[in-house]
Amino acid sequence: MGDCPIYFQEPCNSEMVKFILSIRDANGTSLYPLNPFKPKLPRGYNVLIPFKILIHGYGGLTIDTAIRNVTRAYQEVGYNVIIGSMIKSSSY
């Protein structure tokens, strides 16, 4: 094992992060991509329901079982969830 460098203030832009709105409805859970600069909320979105933001996937992972479980747990107690998922791998 060699040295493991840590990079601070690593650049990040909107092309590196995908935002997804997860809401519960009568048909289960639905996922909607969000543009962070011009977000369009889906029809039927209830603005009175609070939301949580989950940041996930720094290694370039997709939405996995762990993030689905956390999302489901928040939705079961009455939250909408926005998932911020890194789509490009880090330099680690």
pLDDT digit of tens for each residue in the chain (92 aa)? Answer: 445 555 556 666 666 778 889 988 778 888 899 888 888 899 878 889 998 998 876 555 567 788 889 999 999 999 999 988 776 655 44
Q: What is the pTM of this model?
A: 0.71
Q: Would you call 51 exposed, middle or buried from its count of C-beta atoms within 10 A (0-12, 13-18, 19+)? A: middle
Q: Rounded CA gap, 28 and 46, in Å?
A: 15
Instruction: State the pLDDT at residue 25.
Output: 78
| Cβ neighbourhood burial of 22 (10 Å; 0-12, 13-18, 19+) | buried
